[in-house]
Structure 1
Amino acid sequence: MIGVFDSGFGGLTILQKLRHTLPQYDYLYLGDNARAPYGSRSFETIYRYTLQSVRELFHRGCPLVILACNTASAKALRSIQQQVLPVEFPDRRVLGIVRPTAEEIGNFSKTGHIGIFATAGTVSSNSYVLEISHFFPNLKVTQHACPMWVPLVEYGERGTEGARFFVKKDVDQLLAADPEIDTVLLACTHYPLLEDEIRAALPPHVRLVVQGDIVADKTLDYLKRHVDMENRLSKGGSVHYLTTDTAEFFKKGAFRFGMENISAESLTF
Structure 2
Amino acid sequence: MLGVFDSGFGGLTVLRPIHETLPELSTIYLGDNARAPYGVRPQEEIYRFTLEGVRFLFAQNCQLVILACNTASAQALRRIQQEILPAEYPGRRLLGVIRPAAEYLATHGSHVGIFATPATVESNAYTHELEKLNPNVEVTQVACPGLTDLIEAGRQTGENCNQLVKHFADELFLESPKTEEVLLGCTHYPLVQTLFEKQVPRGVPVVSQGEIVAGALKDYLERHPTLKTQLDWSGQHQYFTTNGPDISKLASLFYGNEIQFQKTTL
TM-score normalised according to structure 1 size: 0.96
* Residue in structure 1 matched with residue 254 of structure 2 by the alignment: 257
Q: State the alpha-carbon separation in 1 of the partners of residues 201 and 98 from structure 2.
A: 26
Structural mapping, 1:129-140, within 5 Å: 129-140=127-138
1:172 to 151, 155, 170: 170
Matched, 1:9 2:9: yes
* Aligned-pair CA distance for 1:259: 4.2
Q: State the alpha-carbon separation in 1 of the partners of residues 204 and 182 from structure 2.
A: 7
Structure 1 residue matching 2:106: 3-state secondary structure: helix
Q: State the alpha-carbon separation in 2 of the partners of residues 205 and 255 from structure 1.
A: 30
Q: State the alpha-carbon separation in 2 of the partners of residues 78 and 213 from structure 1.
A: 23
1:152 to 147, 150, 153: 150
Give structure 1 regions of 4+ aligned residues with deviation exceeding 3 angstroms: 258-261
Q: 1:79-101 CA deviation, whole Å, 9 max, x = no partner?
A: 01011111101110000001111
Q: State the alpha-carbon separation in 1 of the partners of residues 156 and 60 from structure 2.
A: 35
Structural mapping, 1:24-63, within 5 Å: 24-63=24-63
Structure 2 residue matching 1:217: 3-state secondary structure: helix
* Residue in structure 2 matched with residue 215 of structure 1 by the alignment: 213
Letter in 1 for 2:229: N
RMSD: 1.1
Q: State the alpha-carbon separation in 2 of the partners of residues 180 and 25 from structure 1.
A: 41
* Residue in structure 1 matched with residue 226 of structure 2 by the alignment: 228
* Residue in structure 1 matched with residue 85 of structure 2 by the alignment: 85
Q: State the alpha-carbon separation in 1 of the partners of residues 253 and 106 from structure 2.
A: 31
Change (3 A) 1:22 1:260: closer
Matched, 1:64 2:64: yes
Asked if the contact 1:159/1:197 (under 8 Å) is kept, the reply is no
Letter in 1 for 2:263: S
Identity score, percent:
48
Asked if the contact 2:12/2:255 (under 8 Å) is kept, the reply is no
Letter in 1 for 2:123: S
Q: State the alpha-carbon separation in 2 of the partners of residues 145 and 187 from structure 1.
A: 10
Please identify, of 73-82 and 100-109, the stretch whose mean Cα deviation from structure 2 is larger: 100-109
Letter in 2 for 1:66: I
* Aligned-pair CA distance for 1:258: 4.7
Q: State the alpha-carbon separation in 2 of the partners of residues 264 and 156 from structure 1.
A: 17
Structure 1 residue matching 2:149: 3-state secondary structure: helix
Structure 1 residue matching 2:243: 3-state secondary structure: coil
TM-score normalised according to structure 2 size: 0.97
Q: State the alpha-carbon separation in 2 of the partners of residues 121 and 88 from structure 1.
A: 27
Structure 2 residue matching 1:108: 3-state secondary structure: coil
* Residue in structure 1 matched with residue 264 of structure 2 by the alignment: 267
* Residue in structure 2 matched with residue 161 of structure 1 by the alignment: 159
Q: State the alpha-carbon separation in 2 of the partners of residues 24 and 214 from structure 1.
A: 19
Count how many residue pairs are aligned between Structure 1 and Structure 2. 266
Please identify, of 223-232 and 145-154, the stretch whose mean Cα deviation from structure 2 is larger: 145-154
Letter in 1 for 2:265: T
The runs of 5 or more residues in structure 1 that have no matched partner are: none
